[in-house]
Amino acid sequence: MLPIKNINDLQSHIHSLEIKRVEHEIYLRQKAASIEENLMGLLKTYSYITGFFKGNTRPAEGNAKKNDNPDWVTMFTRVVVPFALNKVFFRKSSFIVKSLISLVSQGAISSVNKNTVAGWVDMLTDYIKSKTKKKQPLYDAIPPDSETY
């Protein structure tokens, strides 16, 4: 800092300080914008990840959403089925194949909910009951050709 001897020196010093202030403001605005961009990226990632568990809040353009309130079965199968497919059937596949399998399986599982699983269980129990049903004896007690008939 130079010593101020007269009014002109004071005015030039004030002017240089104003220029420094404007430079600092521009620098801080740029930093704030870059931090905001980074945070928006993290927020988008967070909302994408939590969207799997909450369901998409916005339906796609022109498509009505199939499952407005996903239940616990839907959320569970959206996580477990891709994981099981990648660990059991596509164990030695590349990352890209595993990612595609995950996307396709999640799309296919979006229609699975508590009611469909309950329907499958009912169909299975009906099938098992029909196979294990005891056969009626041919003759109950009295044969039809007997004299007492």
Q: How far is residue 70's CA from residue 63's CA, in Å, rounded to a whole number?
A: 17
- pLDDT for residue 118: 84
- pLDDT for residue 63: 44
Q: How far is residue 27's CA from residue 64's CA, in Å, rounded to a whole number?
A: 46
The encoded tokens of residue 84 equal 């099981």
Which residue is associated with the tokens 């369901």?
55
Specify whether the CB–CB gap between 111 and 74 falls below 8 A.
no
The encoded tokens of residue 33 equal 């914008």
The answer on pLDDT for 139 being more than 60 is: no
The encoded tokens of residue 122 equal 């009912």
Mean pLDDT (whole number) for 27-51? 86
Contacts of 73 (CB under 8 A, 6+ apart): 112, 113, 114, 117
Q: Which residue has the higher pLDDT, 43 or 137?
A: 43
The answer on pLDDT for 38 being more than 60 is: yes
Helices (H) and strands (E) in the chain, counts: 4, 0
pLDDT, tens digit, 9 for 90 and up, residues 47-92: 877 776 665 555 444 444 455 566 777 778 878 888 888 788 878 8
Q: How far is residue 86's CA from residue 80's CA, in Å, rounded to a whole number?
A: 10
DSSP helix/strand/coil, 13: helix
Mean predicted lDDT score pLDDT of the chain? 78
Q: How far is residue 78's CA from residue 84's CA, in Å, rounded to a whole number?
A: 11
Predicted TM-score (pTM) of the model is: 0.35
